[in-house]
Amino acid sequence: MRNVVWWFSCTVAAILVAKSSGDDSNLPLLSLAQGQARGSFMTTQNGRQFSAFRGIRYAEPPTGQLRFKDPVAASAWEGVLDASREAPKCIQYDPIVGSILGEEDCLMVNVYTADVNAAKPVMVFIHGGAFIIGSGNGGNDPYGPKLLLDRDIVLVTINYRLGPFGFLSTEDAEAAGNYGLLDQSLALNWVRENIATFGGDAGSVTIFGESAGAASVEYQILSPRSKGLFHGAISQSGSTLCHWSFFDNIGHRTKTLATFLQCPTDSSRHLLDCLRTKTTTEILEMRRRFQVPPLMGVFPVVFGPRVDREREFPFLPAHPRRLMASSNFNHVPYITGINRNEGAGFLTHLLANDAEAMNGVAKDPSKYFSYMLGLDSVDNSAGRVAEAMELLDAQVPLDQQLTTLDEMLSDTMMFKCVDESVNLFGRFNENPTYYYHYAYRGTISTTMTTGVTADLGVSHGDELLMMFSNEFFVATVTDDDRRMSELIMDLWTSFAARKVPQSDLMSSQWQPMDRHERRYLNIDANGAVTTGQDLPFHSRLPFWNRVLNTPAAKEEL
């Protein structure tokens, strides 16, 4: 978070008016230092009433001269803010739906609470979407509060800048990048200053996120700009060490985008001045030219996090691996883990529409696999891709090799990088680091959102269906689903409250990683058990370490 002084007092008064019908004055009203905000009432899945305050601004609109700059804390507003509805998504081109969504003025938080007179643990969720798409909303994104608010927590979800608006950089002090991560940090500062008003304990804040949100959580752990803003962290299927979450060539891509838009590249200042005159649509339409149409979904991720040493006070002063190995990070209790078939979510996009995309990949597999495996910008890319593709049977169509494809994508996009992170945190974190492997296939899976009904396993994002309500479908439809939902929410919310994940549905404690022993919690239909056995992918990691030419993920503990 930018080192700015939050100008208003942290002393706030709260008023919650009892519910009645037909009169806005009887909806929940809070007095914040920024001004008054009127929310709405919602009801949990189990019938518990709670208050929702949505679309509250935590930063000034990042438009005009504030585009491609560090976020500025929001000023006060006049009158009573209507916080009864969600704010727009941050501006984005969604390649999955094929359209531009959202607005540039989007830096808002949503807060859900059942009791403003308490001091409950706070959980702040950071959404995923490859740093390109998504929002923290529950209406137009699947992060509704109606499951978690049955628990005694205060839930906060946030929006942050995406794509070029959040991560463009000239690799100098004019535009050092990482604006989306700085947005998250400023939102956490807003939480610290305001959450007591909502019945939250500012001294008990846990950040959690999935996919790019999981990597974002890890970035907040690593950043000196976020020191003291949270007290526990949970990363679900993502790491700063994944090839899609860390970049060292953003400056080149920024100049390429500027060239597309006929902006000068002779100086960073001239380039940025020109880009600030362009509409969001013009910028996002040109951003699409980096895409590998139309098969890759959100990949390649063109603009994302980077080391920003050019800043006087960097958000990320060194490579994530170096920060972990030097123990130079915010030491907090940490949960991180993976799902059994992380690659399945990507496979669904290849299989959708009668495997249209899969057929396209089959015509030029080396081109597309270079992006899938994160080899598009490394030395000897063609040779490494060819070696990786030897895992596939050239005599068998791609759509009949789903197990091998899932393993390749899971290994290279998630398993390898998350496993390396957990090993490093297990060694150097002064607080407990908990590792999990989620292997429960529910009745509903995220793979079904593309119309693919085949059972592809436990996909990327499947555990979110156990935690968040959404308007697309009800996930907890069987007794087993409901039991799994209770287990996951037990573990996450007990960790938020006491920094030790616990559940009465487990027969034994979840043991954290040890400097001398790898341990993880295996979660499947039979329950949850801590084990020290190798995960199935561990035997494949030496191959990928050689092909990808990266440090060994399974280091000695």
Q: How far apart are CA 103 and CA 162, in angstroms?
A: 11
282 near 275, Cβ under 8 Å? no
Is residue 22 scored above 50 in pLDDT? no
Question: Which tens digits make up the pLDDT trace of 91-134?
Answer: 999 887 789 999 999 999 999 999 999 999 999 999 999 999 99
Is residue 475 scored above 80 in pLDDT? no
Q: What backbone phi and psi angles, to 5 degrees, belong to 102?
A: 85, -170
Q: How far apart are CA 526 and CA 440, in angstroms?
A: 9
Q: What is the mean pLDDT of the chain?
A: 89
pLDDT at residue number 398: 84
Identify the CA nearest to 60 among candidates 154, 169, 179, 172: 179
Average pLDDT over residues 49-53: 98
Positive or negative, the Cα torsion across 10, 15, 16, 22? negative
Q: What backbone phi and psi angles, to 5 degrees, belong to 80?
A: -105, 120
Q: Is the domain 337-548 a CATH 3.40.50.10540 member?
A: no
Superfamily of domain 13-332: Alpha/Beta hydrolase fold, catalytic domain (3.40.50.1820)
Question: Which tens digits make up the pLDDT trace of 326-335?
Answer: 999 999 999 9
Encode 348-371: b = buried (16+ Cβ within 10 Å), e = exposed: bbbbbeebebbebbeeebeebbbb
pLDDT at residue number 395: 86
Average pLDDT over residues 28-44: 95
pLDDT at residue number 295: 53
The percent of residues above 90 in pLDDT, for the chain, comes to 72
Q: How far apart are CA 357 and CA 350, in angstroms?
A: 5
Exposed/middle/buried for 139, CB within 10 Å: 0-12, 13-18, 19+? middle
Tokens of 396: 């068998």
**Catalytic machinery residues:** 211, 342, 460
Question: Which tens digits make up the pLDDT trace of 374-392?
Answer: 887 666 677 888 899 899 8
Identify the CA nearest to 218 among candidates 205, 198, 233: 233
Is residue 241 scored above 70 in pLDDT? yes
4: confidence class by pLDDT, cuts 50, 70, 90 = very low
Average pLDDT over residues 507-511: 94
Question: Which tens digits make up the pLDDT trace of 193-232?
Answer: 999 999 999 999 999 999 999 999 999 999 999 999 999 9
pLDDT at residue number 23: 55
* Start-end of CATH 3.40.50.1820 domains in the chain: 13-332, 337-548
Which residues are 232's β-sheet partners?
206
Question: Which tens digits make up the pLDDT trace of 389-419?
Answer: 899 888 888 888 999 999 999 999 999 999 9
Exposed/middle/buried for 508, CB within 10 Å: 0-12, 13-18, 19+? exposed
> Where is average pLDDT lowest: 19-23, 84-88, 136-140, 316-320?
19-23
For helices 365-372 and 381-389, what crossing angle results, to 10°?
A: 100
Order of strands across the sheet with 35-38? 13-15, 29-32, 35-38, 80-82
For helices 179-194 and 212-222, what crossing angle results, to 10°?
A: 70
Which residues are 13's β-sheet partners?
31
pLDDT at residue number 370: 83
The percent of residues above 70 in pLDDT, for the chain, comes to 91
Which residue intervals of 312-440 are DSSP H helices?
320-325, 344-363, 365-372, 381-389, 402-410, 416-428
554: confidence class by pLDDT, cuts 50, 70, 90 = very low
Is residue 451 scored above 50 in pLDDT? yes
Q: Which H or E element spans position 337?
A: strand 334-339
Q: How far apart are CA 30 and CA 17, in angstroms?
A: 9
291: confidence class by pLDDT, cuts 50, 70, 90 = low
Q: Which H or E element spans position 521?
A: strand 520-524
β-strands 200-210, 99-101 pairing:
unpaired
pLDDT at residue number 476: 65
Question: Which tens digits make up the pLDDT trace of 255-286?
Answer: 999 999 999 999 999 999 999 999 999 999 98
Is residue 324 scored above 70 in pLDDT? yes
pLDDT at residue number 450: 67
Is residue 474 scored above 90 in pLDDT? no
Tokens of 345: 């979510």
